[in-house]
Amino acid sequence: MSAHSEYGKLKSIFIKTATAAFINQPHIEKHWEPLNYLGEPIMQTAVEEYTAFETILKEQGATILHFPEDASVNMDSIYCRDAAIATNKGMIICNMGKAGRVNEPAAEARAFEQAGIPILGTIMPPGTLEGGDVAWIDENTLAVGHTYRTNEEGIRQLTKLITPLGVTVITVPMPHYRGPSDVFHLMSVLSPVDYNLAVVYSPLIPIVFRNDLIARGFALVEVPEAEFDSMGCNVLALAPRVCLMVKGNPKTKAALEQAGCKVIEYEGAEISVKGGGGPTCLTRPISRA
């Protein structure tokens, strides 16, 4: 088993339910606009969507662990990938670039410690680093987006922590796009789903990085412009070429199937689209086969 993969079969994973993150409708009403959600999530529908989402994960046979409700964090904690990075020597605790999420790393660290999962290190201010900017290209190569959420100092600290594990860090300078208030991570435009297949939105990928993926042997499933905002590019590999994605992206789904993938869809209007977090964001994989 390894933590250094985006596409091996899921063996253990942390998630945080809509009930634990969104709390109730009055809580949502108070916080969704300050957190820059696209719309106000409907609590009952969100719970229904999340139950179906978790059922899909359970069907894969992975061990599922839950982050508990925590008064120190807010709605965005449902997107639990962002606050930590898994390595073969323990978790790296992030330091969030979004002000409304600054307490999430410490909350996740408490859960990891309670579960007996070691902590390899912590990103300290002024460094910022979010898990959505980090993607394993292979066992020994980690791509990190330099974004408004992940800065140069955060990448320096990450590199120092992970280089002793035999890992090379590739920094990917990301474009301004919609600016600092938008949720725009490296994994907004890249989802590896096998050792030689990745889902990409090429208009927002730096040319040098896209060429590097091709040179490494990756075939690219191109997401059309019409399916970028509906999170066509945010695809979680449950196993090699077994893909989980938000409903509403038929062209990307068809392209994945043409590439030999099995595609499973879930309803994500409340838990994914409104908050800008697809299935990769909703999960913190710990280990894969």
Helix (H, G, I), strand (E, B) or coil at 201: coil
Can you list the residues of the chain whose pLDDT is less than 50?
none
Nearest to 239 by CA among 82, 63, 62, 84: 62
Judge whether 268 lies within some domain.
yes
Dihedral of alpha carbons 151, 229, 101, 39, sign: positive
- Position 181 scores a pLDDT of 83
What confidence score (pLDDT) does residue 182 get? 83
Spatial separation of the C-alpha atoms in residues 176 and 150, rounded to whole Å: 13
Helices (H) and strands (E) in the chain, counts: 7, 15
CATH of the domain at 96: 3.75.10.10
Residue 50 within a domain? yes
In a domain, 72, yes or no: yes
φ, ψ of residue 42 in degrees (nearest 5): -95, 115
Alpha carbons 66 and 121: distance in angstroms, whole number: 21
pLDDT at 147: 97
Residue 61 lies in a domain: yes
In a domain, 78, yes or no: yes
Is 257 within the bounds of a domain? yes
pLDDT of 112 = 98
Report yes or no on 3 lying in a domain.
no
Per residue in 143-193, pLDDT (tens digit) is: 999 999 999 999 999 999 999 999 999 999 999 999 898 889 999 999 999
Count of structural domains, the chain: 1
Which pTM does this prediction carry? Answer: 0.96
Q: Is residue 92 within 8 Å of residue 114, measured between CB atoms? A: no
Q: What is the domain extent for residue 102?
A: 10-288
**Tokens (6 digits) for 12:** 């253990």
Order across the sheet with 84-87: list the strands. Answer: 84-87, 90-93, 119-122
Scanning the structure block, which residue is given the tokens 């980090």? Answer: 134
**What pLDDT, in 10s, does the model give residues 120-146?**
999 999 999 999 999 999 999 999 999
5 domain-assigned: no
